[in-house]
Structure 1
């Protein structure tokens, strides 16, 4: 599989949980300044979103490697248009457009290979400002941090799932893996989550808007989709 950034980089905006998705350790030293001046195009793409039940803050792009900013790219794949492909190794998610192109998003993935879902799934449901509940394993590992949320956390600006979540199902059963936003934009491009696939909040809003329930999702660790 080869990807190449197209000069037709795309901002369409938004076309108009889970257990186990919180970060359990903090990664430092990943900020990469994008240069003395960030293109206004990207500033607009990742600017504040105010037409929501809760405000979505602008992303400080100095703390996110530019390669993980949303792009329309050349993308050779066997998957049909409408498929979402997640490449764990490269930390990218692709919304396949067809005709050899896709919208590419930077993502954060599970901090260990064994925590990541791999294989094929479907979007079983979608939620705006979703509720989040830590897993029993998370509570057992760090009760001081997670026990207070054993009955769940309502959606809102501090919820680890961010403003949107897409729920992965296999054979009609919830896998407990999600594609979702994040309160930690610095973590995009890293292996830091408890297994879910996290996006910048502006990106998950965009993907949510273009992804219907029933969409096929392929999660893989490198290679041609």
Structure 2
């Protein structure tokens, strides 16, 4: 985890970037084919509001291009681009009791990942035990991990936190998850196509 000063610096950058989507270009959706086109025709859709659409925005940060910065307070994820720019996505974040902040790296990436309920979730919701016993839920339109998942690692170990799609897009902009960062599936697909294994992730 970075120093407090590092997080303050990132926070100041976010404060400047949070409102600057006015007049910023909205980025087009990625082109879909194969399984993506088949599944995306079946996933739920929702109007998330203009603020949570995908934009190219001005963004000043010391993080190198290719890094991901998540602003849990304002519900934005920024993918740092060269020349003081970032791609900004709307997200849903963890409820206060389950929120996570810190530094990590992208240690794994999967398309339409299988979902296995984690232990802490099984303790809260025992009705999910049959899903875990069956080896999880295969990837698809009904899977809560959505179209893509980025697996966050810290010091070489899986944190069990993810950046992933969602089958509940109406909750983008809210604090609803068990700590993971949720995105609209189309945004998760877009981010997946831009990110590489080993990318830095800062969650504040």
TM-score (norm 2): 0.84
Hey, what's the Cα distance between the residues in 2 that align with 1:118 and 1:170? Answer: 12
Choose from 151, 174, 177 the match for 2:161: 177
Gapped regions of structure 1 (runs ≥ 5):
15-48, 221-225
State yes or no: 1:217 paired with 2:204.
no
Choose from 155, 178, 197 the match for 1:194: 178
TM-score (norm 1): 0.76
Give matches, 1:50-61, under 5 Å: 50-52=33-35, 54-57=38-41, 60-61=45-46
Equivalent in the alignment of 1:132:
115
Q: 2-11 or 181-190: which moved more? A: 2-11
Gapped regions of structure 2 (runs ≥ 5):
1-12
**Are 1:106 and 1:199, in contact at CA under 8 Å, matched by a contact in 2?**
yes
Choose from 92, 95, 109 the match for 2:79: 95
State yes or no: 1:10 paired with 2:27.
yes
Hey, what's the Cα distance between the residues in 2 that align with 1:140 and 1:105? Answer: 32
Equivalent in the alignment of 2:147:
163
State yes or no: 1:122 paired with 2:139.
no
**Are 1:50 and 1:56, in contact at CA under 8 Å, matched by a contact in 2?**
no
Would the alpha carbon gap of residues 8 and 66 (structure 1) be closer, same or farther in structure 2, given more than 3 Å must change?
closer
Hey, what's the Cα distance between the residues in 2 that align with 1:105 and 1:7? Answer: 13
Moved over 6 A (4+): none
How well do the aligned residues superpose, as a CA RMSD in angstroms? 1.7
Equivalent in the alignment of 1:149:
131
Hey, what's the Cα distance between the residues in 2 that align with 1:218 and 1:65? Answer: 25
State yes or no: 1:72 paired with 2:56.
yes
Per chain length, whose mean CA-contact separation is higher, i.e. which structure has more relative contact order (CA < 8 Å, sep 6+)? 1
How many pairs were matched up?
A: 183
Q: Is the helix fraction higher in 1 or 2?
A: 2
